Amino acid sequence: MHDGLLEVQFDGLVGPSHNYAGLSPGNLASDRHRGVVSRPRAAALQGLQKMRLVHGLGVPQAVLPPHERPLLSALHRWGFRGDDAQILADAWGHDGHLVRVASSASAMWTANAATVAPSCDAADGRVHLVVANLLTMPHRALEPEATLRVLRAIFRDPAHFAVHDPLPGGYLMTDEGAANHTRLFGSGGAVHLFAWGRRGSTADVDGPRTHVARQTELASRAIARLLRVDAARALFPRQHPAGIDVGGFHTDVLAVGTGSVLLLHEQAFVAHEALVAELGKLVGPEFSAILARESELPASEAVECYPFNSQLLQLPDGSMTLIAPAESRESGACRRYFERVTGSGGPVRSVHYVDLRQSMQNGGGPACLRLRVPLTATERASLNARVLVDAPLLDRLETWVSRHYRERIEPEDLRDPALHRESMAALDELTGILNLGSVYEFQRTGG
């Protein structure tokens, strides 16, 4: 590690409009929970509880704010006119779907916010972040504008940070951020895995048959160039089409890696044996891959319980731990896999189970809720806002959630203009707490 390089976990705060709208085909949990009553307050508190646990383990923890939702400016750009109540009423009356798309709190899954490389891996010695365009899912495609503003507000110092625009190029360049990226590190140096599900340039006859592949190879290669990582140390494995078809819509649903450890399901990548052999050469002799076979842990069960969507964290004593969803404790096959991981004599020694049921019901586990940003001590000190959490900030955020968030949201509540007003009041106060400046559209236009 260089100059105190530590991986900071930037978790997305769950937004006040958290709901289940069934917006993500191919994400089975999202589909299954369409129309279920959501609990935004519980959801946000569950997320904060996870941050408290990680912070308590001595791992640097930071927070990213929710986005403005419903995004009335999107409804305006779709031609709805009048005051806020009128816009919502018309859009709801015409086709409620557009209100649902504009109301998703999906920015909470910050693993999809950007792809990141640390300064020690980049040719110009700066931290690079490429904001994901998220073009495959319409509700998520509304995120990049605000993500760019937020990340530019936090990573503001150009001497240390470069925050890149989302990739242009539409369907050729669909990109889902760090959910498809893994950085490994060992005595051989750093290696970056940029996974993808379809080529982009040519029609794929060998891609998934049922579900959409969200990331293209063209996008992954563009990101590797923008991050300025050594081309000899960047690998571009393909997500296994069978894994996508069973519900592994992002790589992080079937694999997770940190340092010299990679946990993966055999349906995470095509040609996984060759990939693991290549990684062994590049990362160094300490590299260990712990593979789950379909016979021991079916991919469908991994999609259900999300063991690979655990956070794999390096602790201050050099050992590693897993922050796993409680659902994976309920499955015998997942538990036995974890026993194999923690009993292998390798660095992973323990598992902490967390209750993230509200997010899990939309297909977002512990690893989806965080963006990993490895930063040196100097870079951590250069962050522009108060986003690194400590116990008092967590207390303050809990109070803030309890004061502003609704206990429940029913599908029909999304048409309620009061939900928008309450959210704006909450977010306005939050930018003060985090010392973020005016990052929201409503703060800039006074609207």
Provide the annotated active-site residues.
176, 250, 368
Task: Among 247, 364, 366, 374, indicate the residue that binds ligand SUG (CB under 6 A).
Answer: 364
Tell whether residue 175 is a contact of ligand SUG (CB under 6 A): no
Least distance to ligand SUG, CB of residue 125, Å: 28
User: Which span (164-172, 233-241, 249-257, 327-335) binds ligand SUG, by CB under 6 A?
Assistant: 249-257
- The number of residues that bind ligand SUG (CB under 6 A) is 22
**Under the criterion CB under 6 A, does residue 64 sit at the interface with ligand SUG?**
no
Crossing angle for the helix pair 391-404 and 40-56, to the nearest 10 degrees: 180
Say whether residue 104 binds ligand SUG (CB under 6 A): yes
Is residue 21 a contact residue for ligand SUG (CB under 6 A)? yes
Measured from the CB of residue 348, what is the shortest distance to ligand SUG in angstroms? 20
Does the footprint of ligand SUG cover residue 415 (CB under 6 A)?
no
Among 179, 262, 299, 394, binds ligand SUG (CB under 6 A): 179
Among 111, 235, 299, 383, binds ligand SUG (CB under 6 A): 111
253 binds ligand SUG (CB under 6 A): yes
Using CB under 6 A, which of the segments 105-113, 151-159, 234-242, 336-344 binds ligand SUG? 105-113
Residue 115 interacts with ligand SUG (CB under 6 A): yes or no: no
Interaction between residue 310 and ligand SUG (CB under 6 A): no
Q: Is 368 in the site for ligand SUG (CB under 6 A)?
A: yes
Nearer to ligand SUG, 264 or 393 (CB): 264
Considering only the stretches 148-156, 194-202, 318-326, 359-367, report the one whose residues sit in contact with ligand SUG under the rule CB under 6 A: 359-367
- Comparing CB distances to ligand SUG, the nearer of 153 and 178 is 178
Is residue 30 involved in binding ligand SUG (CB under 6 A)? yes
CB closer to ligand SUG, 21 vs 283: 21
The residues of the shown chain that bind ligand SUG, judged by CB under 6 A, are 20-24, 27, 30, 104, 106, 109, 111-112, 137, 140, 179, 250, 252-253, 362-364, 368
